[in-house]
Amino acid sequence: MVHSILPLIQAATDAAGSNPKGLIAIGAGLSAGLGVIGAGIGIGRIGGQAVEGMARQPEMGARIQIAGIIFAGLIEAAALFAVVIGFTMAGKI
C-alpha cells in the first residue's frame, strides 16, 4: 500500500511549487490519522497490560484499573490535540 501512495505524494510535491494547498491537505490528513492510530495502539496496549497485571495480581486489580483509566485519558487527550491540529491545518486550505 505504501508503494501506491508514494507516487501520489511525489506528484503533490511537484505541484506544490505553484500551490502549497495540496501539501497542507496531506499534512492535515496525516496528522489526524496518525494521531488517532497512535492513540488506538496505546490504549490497546494499556488494556492488554492491565488485564495481564490483574491476572497476575488480582488483589491489585482496583489500583491497576484506576491507573489504566487515567493513562487512557491522557492518551486520548494527545489524540485530540493531533485531530485539532489536523483540523486547524485543513482550515487553512
Work out the average pLDDT over 29-35.
Answer: 87
Give the per-residue pLDDT at 16: 58
Give the per-residue pLDDT at 14: 67
Question: Domains along the chain?
Answer: 22-91 (1.20.20.10)
List, for residues 44-86, the tens digit of each pLDDT value: 999 999 999 999 999 999 999 999 999 999 999 999 998 888 8
H/E/C letters for each residue in the chain? Answer: CHHHHHHHHHHHHHHCCCCCHHHHHHHHHHHHHHHHHHHHHHHHHHHHHHHHHHHHCHHHHHHHHHHHHHHHHHHHHHHHHHHHHHHHHHHCC
